[in-house]
Amino acid sequence: MRDVTQDADREAAYECFDCGNVVDGTNPGRCPECGSAMRNRGTPIE
Ligand SMILES: [Zn+2]
């Protein structure tokens, strides 16, 4: 289930697309609260 090829090992904050839950640390992959996709808050999305 790994589809992240960027710097996934860097510690950062990840925010859930769906519920806005924030997880600090390595990429959780899925939101622990609702299971939706997470995005790196340090990576602006165009
Ligand atoms: Zn969520």
pLDDT at 43: 65
The burial of 14, by beta-carbon neighbours within 10 Å (0-12 exposed, 13-18 middle, 19 or more buried), is given as: buried
Quote the number of domains for the chain. Answer: 1
**Cα of 41 from ligand 1 centre, angstroms:** 14
42, 25 contact by CB (below 8 A): no
Torsion sign (Cα): 27, 34, 22, 24: negative
Q: Is residue 42 part of a domain?
A: yes
pLDDT at 7: 56
**Residues, Cβ < 5 Å to ion ligand 1:** 16, 18-19, 21, 31, 33-34, 36
Residues contacting 30, CB < 8 A, separation 6+: 36, 37, 38
CATH code, 44: 2.20.28
**Cα of 37 from ligand 1 centre, angstroms:** 7
**Cα of 24 from ligand 1 centre, angstroms:** 14
pLDDT at 42: 77
pLDDT at 3: 64
Q: Is residue 1 part of a domain?
A: no
pLDDT at 2: 66
Q: Is residue 25 part of a domain?
A: yes
Q: Is residue 44 part of a domain?
A: yes
Q: Is residue 10 part of a domain?
A: yes
Domain hosting 10: range is 6-46
Query: Residue 41 has what DSSP assignment?
Result: T
pLDDT at 45: 56
* Cα gap 8→16, rounded to integer Å: 16
Mean pLDDT by 10 residues, the chain (46 residues): 59 90 89 94 68
